[in-house]
Amino acid sequence: MTCLCVSGCATRQPSPPESSDAVANPADRKTAPARSKSVPGKPSPPKPPPSQGEHSITNANGVLTLVNPLQGRVASVNMSLRFVVLDFALKQLPSIDQRLGVYRQGLKVGELKVTGPERGGNIVADLVAGEARVGDEVRPD
């Protein structure tokens, strides 16, 4: 029978600094500000504006983009009876009697009043003003 014996040192050796930007005390590593990699004298490129239904908030820690959770699409249109079926797949449905705007390529083209009924992620709304086409974006004004 063969016996194998392994031994080692129980003390931990400090690891070498990761880079010249490393913080001396590992406890301070979490609170130390990150250094900017921008070139001095050269402005950073502007950030693109938020898309429709989004709002940006900037603070000392960075930019936070909020997405409007109540945003859907027109799934079906009945122009003779002036109602539409809205698709809010995997999103919060609007409440009954809520007013919504219809947007096409970022421009408001109509106004809806949610009437119901709802089934799954779909809900019916009356076309109060303007027009609507399949694929138009729907969101609160």
Whether 39 shows a pLDDT value over 80: the answer reads no
The answer to the question of residue 94 being in a domain is yes
- CATH code, 90: 2.40.10
The answer to the question of residue 125 being in a domain is yes
Compute CA 106 distance to the chain's CA centroid, rounded to the nearest angstrom.
18
Indicate the number of domains in the chain. Answer: 1
Give me the phi and psi of 27, to 5 degrees please. Answer: -70, -30
Average of per-residue pLDDT across 121-129: 96
Domain that holds residue 78: 72-139
Tens-place pLDDT, residues 52-71: 455 555 666 776 665 556 89
Whether 89 shows a pLDDT value over 90: the answer reads no
**DSSP secondary structure, 92-130, as one string:** PPPPTT-EEEEEETTEEEEEEEEEEEEETTEEEEEEEEE
Which DSSP symbol is given to 132?
Answer: -
The answer to the question of residue 12 being in a domain is no
